[in-house]
Structure 1
Amino acid sequence: MRFGLLYEHQLPRPWDGDTEHRLFKDALAQVELADRLGIDHIWEVEHHFLEEYAHSSAPEVFLAACAARTKNIRIGHGVVLAPPGYNHPARVAERIATLDLIADGRVDWGTGESASRVELEGFGIDPDQKKAMWAEAVEQTANMMAMSPYPGFQGKFFSMPVRNVVPKPLQKPHPPIWVACSKRETIHAAARAGIGALTFAFVDPAEAGKWAHEYYDIIKSEECVPIGHTVNANIAMVTGFSVHEDAAEARARGSEGFQFFGYSLGHFYVYGNHQPGVTNVWERFEAAKDKLPPAGRGSGIGTPADLIGHLKQYQDAGVDQVVFIQQGGRNRHEHICEALELFAAQVMPVLKADQAERDAKKARELAPFIEAALKRKQRMAPVAREAIPTVIAYGRNVVQAGQATEGPTHHVNADIAVMMTDVADDKKKQAAE
């Protein structure tokens, strides 16, 4: 089993002038520690305007800093919002490829469509079209990274001419693709698209086992037609995290933060009324906290022995990765670091003892199904060299032998043309004198 850390950059009110600065610096320190300890993945979300719940609107910046500070941990864009109103597909291809180069081929490309009115309406995105936007954008972004040049596209939600999108990622043809899932139907859709399921459903191991079984049944069926140029057969489950030798202390350190994560998620996505810049989500959470289900038992919160027993159930159920929410609510940085060290020392070795054997067995079992799935994909036809249009620059002023010759001139270059003509005239005058 593999393990990851999820960053939403939660920041409950009140805020002072330095709280966001400390938040990001602490997160970077945690990622450096996780890399040294052998944690497999970090995942960073993309959200906009979700005060207190997620101050993570520029994940590509944070992840680049993580890549520069680490050597082994995989860098998960979990997720890039795919509708073009958030991110043009070409910009996503450029950013993912650049990050993959900086990270020496350690990037995982998580995708999503978004579900919050605060975000969707903030960017003018039609919620009834977002699923179709996701499908169009993700497929074309993968094509941009894999094809040279990209043949161009006339779609429903974005269009662009023939262009060679550079740079290309280090992982060929592109980094592994994932999609954020909160429902069983989305996990099925992930399998049909041949991509990893990054699941935010908070289900128990028995239910997770059913979902994992259904996911892999679809991967092995003719329903699986890859949206990208590879198949990433993986299912990950998200849960809370706090580890201490004393179970009560583990709950005291981590339960409230996990509760706030769930409450604030519900505030923005399910039941909340939010006034931007006014609503205090933490105050509402505190008022409702006693009525919320307790966090701890059945999650990644407890003693090392508790976690071994709980996570072993996920492993046996067929879950490939468990992703921990350790930075939630007001969880303290030093407690997070202590928990990571204890987890790496006492829990992780038990669950990773036969990792290589499990990986090899899985690869052998899935190889023929993945090969068949890739044959079913209808690939975008490359553009013939003679059909690639020539793009003529806007400005075509030419200075030869001291003369400025004007052709069709874009106004931006007019001043340059005049300046170069003046230089030529000055040289003539100096020569005459």
Structure 2
Amino acid sequence: MRFGLLYEHQLPRPWTGDTEHRLFKEALAQVELADSLGVDYIWEVEHHFLEEYAHSSAPEVFLAACAARTKRIRIGHGVVLAPPAYNHPARVAERIATLDLISDGRVDWGTGESASRVELEGFGVDPDQKKAMWAEAVEQTANMMTMNPYPGFQGTFFAMPVRNVVPKPLQKPHPPLWVACSRRETIHAAARAGIGALTFAFVDPAEAAKWAHEYYDIIRSEQCVPIGHAVNANIAMVTGFSCHEDGAEARRRGSEGFQFFGYSLGHYYVYGHHQPGVTDIWQRFEAAKDKLPPAGRGSGIGTPTELTEHLRQYREAGVDQVVFIQQGGRNKHEHICDSLRLFADKVMPVLKADQAARDARKQAELAPFIEAALTRKRRMPPAATSAIPTVSAYGRNVVQADQATEGPTHHIAADIAVMMNDPAARKNKAPAG
């Protein structure tokens, strides 16, 4: 089993002048510690305008900082919002590839649609169309990372001409693809698309076993038709986190933060009424928290012994990765670091003891099904060289552009001199045309 950390960058009110600065610096320190301890993944969300719940609106910046400070931990977008109004597919391809190069091939590319009204309406995304937007954008972004040049596209939600999207990622054909899932149906859709299920559904091991079984049954079936150019057969599930030798202290340190995560999630996605810049979610949470279900045993909160037993059940259920929400509510930085150290010392060695052998068995068992799935992939035809148009630079007429293709003439030399800010060249340059 592998383990990851999920960052929303939660920041309950009240805020002071340096709270966001401290939040990000502490998160970077936690990621550095996790890397040194052998934690497998860091996952960073993308959300917009979700005050208190998630101040992570530029995950590519945070993850680049993580990549620069770490050596081995996987750098996961959990997730990039795919509708083009959030992120143009070409910009996603460029950013993912650049991050993959910077991190020496450690990127995982999680994708999602977005679901909150605050975000969707803020960017003018039609909620009835967002699933179709996701499918179109993700497939074309994968094509952009793998095709040289990308042959252009006239779609329902975006269009672009022939271009070679650079750079290309270090991982070939592209970094592992995931999709955010909160329902059983989305997990099935992930399997049909041949991508990892990054599951934000808090289910017990018995329910997780059903979901994992169904997911891998679809991966093995003819229903699996990859949306990307590789199959990433993996299930990750999210839970809370706090580890202490004293179970009561683990719950005291970690339960409130996990409760706030759930409450603020519900505020933006289910039952809340929000006035931007006005509503105080933490104040509402404090008024309601005594009525909320406790976050204790059954999550990633407890003693090393409790966590080992609970997480072993998920491993036997077929879950490949457990992702911890350790930075929630007002959880303290020092408590998070203490929990990570204890978990790495007492729990991870037990659950990772036979990881290599499990990986090898899984890879061998799934290999023929993945190969068959890739033969069903509907591939975009490449652009014929004769069909790739020449793009002439602005500021040159057609005659000059034609001359430029024949070799370095005096026109080109004069243009270069002007661009290099040569005063004499500017004075003597004849008007274009």
TM-score (norm 2): 0.94
Partner of 1:112: 112
Give the distance between the partners of 2:390 and 2:225, measured in 1 at CA: 35
Contact 1:192-1:224 at 8 Å conserved across structures: yes
Partner of 2:283: 283
Give the distance between the partners of 1:403 and 1:418, measured in 2 at CA: 16
**Unpaired runs of at least 5, structure 2:** 401-407
Q: Structure 1 residues 198, 401: closer, same or farther in 2, change over 3 A? A: closer
Q: 1:420 aligns with which of 421, 425, 430?
A: 425
Give the distance between the partners of 2:294 and 2:356, measured in 1 at CA: 36
**Unpaired runs of at least 5, structure 1:** 407-412, 426-433
Report the 3-state secondary structure (helix = DSSP H, G, I; strand = E; otherwise coil) of the residue aligned with 1:379: coil
Give the distance between the partners of 2:283 and 2:166, measured in 1 at CA: 47
Task: Supply the AA of the counterpart residue of 1:8.
Answer: E
Deviations 1:320-366 (A, max 9, x none): 00000000000000000000000000000000000000000000000
Partner of 1:410: none
User: Is 1:313 the counterpart of 2:313 in the alignment?
Assistant: yes
Give the distance between the partners of 1:401 and 1:28, measured in 2 at CA: 54
Deviations 1:69-88 (A, max 9, x none): 00000000110000000000
Q: Structure 1 residues 88, 303: closer, same or farther in 2, change over 3 A? A: same
Contact 1:403-1:421 at 8 Å conserved across structures: no
Report the 3-state secondary structure (helix = DSSP H, G, I; strand = E; otherwise coil) of the residue aligned with 2:347: helix
User: Is 1:332 the counterpart of 2:332 in the alignment?
Assistant: yes
Q: Structure 1 residues 400, 202: closer, same or farther in 2, change over 3 A? A: same
Task: Supply the AA of the counterpart residue of 1:21.
Answer: H
Give the distance between the partners of 1:351 and 1:307, measured in 2 at CA: 10
User: Is 1:198 the counterpart of 2:203 in the alignment?
Assistant: no
Deviations 1:409-433 (A, max 9, x none): xxxx99x8997341569xxxxxxxx
Deviations 1:156-182 (A, max 9, x none): 000000000000000011000000000
Give the distance between the partners of 1:11 and 1:359, measured in 2 at CA: 37
Deviations 1:197-251 (A, max 9, x none): 0000000110000000000000000000000000000000000000000000000
Partner of 1:178: 178
Report the 3-state secondary structure (helix = DSSP H, G, I; strand = E; otherwise coil) of the residue aligned with 2:150: coil
Give the distance between the partners of 2:33 and 2:97, measured in 1 at CA: 25
Task: Supply the AA of the counterpart residue of 1:84.
Answer: P
Give the distance between the partners of 1:314 and 1:424, measured in 2 at CA: 73
Residue 403 of structure 1 deviates from its aligned partner by: 11
Give the distance between the partners of 1:377 and 1:360, measured in 2 at CA: 25
Report the 3-state secondary structure (helix = DSSP H, G, I; strand = E; otherwise coil) of the residue aligned with 1:111: strand
Give the distance between the partners of 1:403 and 1:77, measured in 2 at CA: 44
Task: Supply the AA of the counterpart residue of 1:422.
Answer: K
Partner of 2:403: none
Residue 396 of structure 1 deviates from its aligned partner by: 2.1
Report the 3-state secondary structure (helix = DSSP H, G, I; strand = E; otherwise coil) of the residue aligned with 2:255: helix
User: Is 1:19 the counterpart of 2:19 in the alignment?
Assistant: yes
Q: Structure 1 residues 403, 55: closer, same or farther in 2, change over 3 A? A: closer
Partner of 2:147: 147
Contact 2:34-2:340 at 8 Å conserved across structures: yes
Q: Structure 1 residues 422, 207: closer, same or farther in 2, change over 3 A? A: same
Give the distance between the partners of 2:108 and 2:414, measured in 1 at CA: 51
User: Is 1:223 the counterpart of 2:228 in the alignment?
Assistant: no
Residue 387 of structure 1 deviates from its aligned partner by: 1.3
Give the distance between the partners of 2:196 and 2:99, measured in 1 at CA: 19
Task: Supply the AA of the counterpart residue of 1:252.
Answer: R
Q: Structure 1 residues 160, 419: closer, same or farther in 2, change over 3 A? A: farther
Contact 2:414-2:429 at 8 Å conserved across structures: no
Contact 2:5-2:41 at 8 Å conserved across structures: yes
Partner of 2:376: 376
Give the distance between the partners of 1:134 and 1:418, measured in 2 at CA: 51
Task: Supply the AA of the counterpart residue of 1:291.
Answer: K
- Number of residue equivalences: 419
Partner of 2:238: 238
Give the distance between the partners of 1:251 and 1:181, measured in 2 at CA: 27
Task: Supply the AA of the counterpart residue of 2:65.
Answer: A
Contact 2:107-2:175 at 8 Å conserved across structures: yes
Matching of residues 261-300 of structure 1 within 5 Å: 261-300=261-300
Report the 3-state secondary structure (helix = DSSP H, G, I; strand = E; otherwise coil) of the residue aligned with 1:395: coil
Q: Structure 1 residues 419, 227: closer, same or farther in 2, change over 3 A? A: farther
Partner of 1:5: 5
Deviations 1:24-70 (A, max 9, x none): 00000000000000000000000000000000000000000000000
Contact 2:152-2:159 at 8 Å conserved across structures: yes
Matching of residues 32-43 of structure 1 within 5 Å: 32-43=32-43
Contact 1:402-1:424 at 8 Å conserved across structures: no
Give the distance between the partners of 2:195 and 2:410, measured in 1 at CA: 60
Contact 1:404-1:417 at 8 Å conserved across structures: no
Give me the CA root mean square deviation.
Answer: 2.0
Report the 3-state secondary structure (helix = DSSP H, G, I; strand = E; otherwise coil) of the residue aligned with 1:349: helix
TM-score (norm 1): 0.94
Give the distance between the partners of 1:254 and 1:287, measured in 2 at CA: 19
Report the 3-state secondary structure (helix = DSSP H, G, I; strand = E; otherwise coil) of the residue aligned with 1:48: coil
Q: Structure 1 residues 248, 144: closer, same or farther in 2, change over 3 A? A: same
Partner of 2:210: 210
